[in-house]
Chains A and B, each alone.
Chain A
C-alpha cells in the first residue's frame, strides 16, 4: 500500500497571501496524483489531476507541481472561499487507492 503523508496538518495564512501544501508518497507514483478540496458539510471537489492539470472550472490561482514522491499544491492570492481541508490522492498503485490525511487551511 502506498502511504500518502501531507504536511503541515494545519496551515494558517492570511487572505491575499500564498499557501503551499505538501504531500509525500511512500514510493514513486509518477504523476498519477490528485488534489481535492473539501469544505464543511460538502463532498470533496477535484482540483488537480495528473499532478499538475487543473480540473474543469478550477481557478488559475490553484497550481500543482511535482512527480515521483514529492508534490505541492500552491494557492496564490488566497480568497475567503479557499479556506478548507485539502487532500492528496495517488492512483498509480491500487488497490487500494490512497489519500493523505488532509491539511486544514485556516484564516490567519
Chain B
C-alpha cells in the first residue's frame, strides 16, 4: 500500500524557518517525481515545488524561489521541504504528492502537515 506521511509542521514566527519531511512507503520511491502542494485555510490548492526521481532537477513556483528548497533522500525514502523567511501568507497545510509515472498528475497524497506562521 502506497503511503506518504508528512511531518515537521507547527507554529513558527515570521522570518523563521522550518523543515518538512515526507516519509514514503509501499512503492519504489526512487522511481518517481515528487511534489509539495499547499492549501491555505479555506483556500484552493497551490503547487509549490517538484523534484525529479534522482534529485537532479528541481522546480519551484515563483513565490517561493530562493526561500524554499525541495530535496530528497532516496536511501531513506524521504522527501523534504526546507522553508525559510516564512511569512503569514505561507500559513497552510502542506501536502507531499507523488507524480504519476509518465505524467505530472498526482496519484497519491499524504495527509498533510499544518504550518502556521504567526507571532
Contacts and interface: CB of A to CB of B under 8 A. Distances in A.
A44 B109 contact: yes
B-side interface size class: 20 to 34
A46 B103 contact: no
Chain B interface, DSSP helix/strand/loop, else mixed: strand
A44 B107 contact: no
Contacts, number: 66
Contacts of B103: 32, 34, 49-50, 91
A20 interface: no
B44 A98 contact: no
Nearest to A85: B44
Given A43-B111, A94-B59, A34 B47 contact: no
B88 interface: no
A68 interface: no
Nearest to B103: A49
B100 interface: yes
A72 to B, nearest CB: 17
Contact of A95 (B61, B106, B107): B61
B31 to A, nearest CB: 17
A96 B47 contact: yes
Interface of A: 32, 34, 36, 38, 42-46, 49-50, 55-56, 87, 89, 91, 94-102
Interface of B: 35, 37, 44-47, 50, 59-62, 95, 100, 103-112
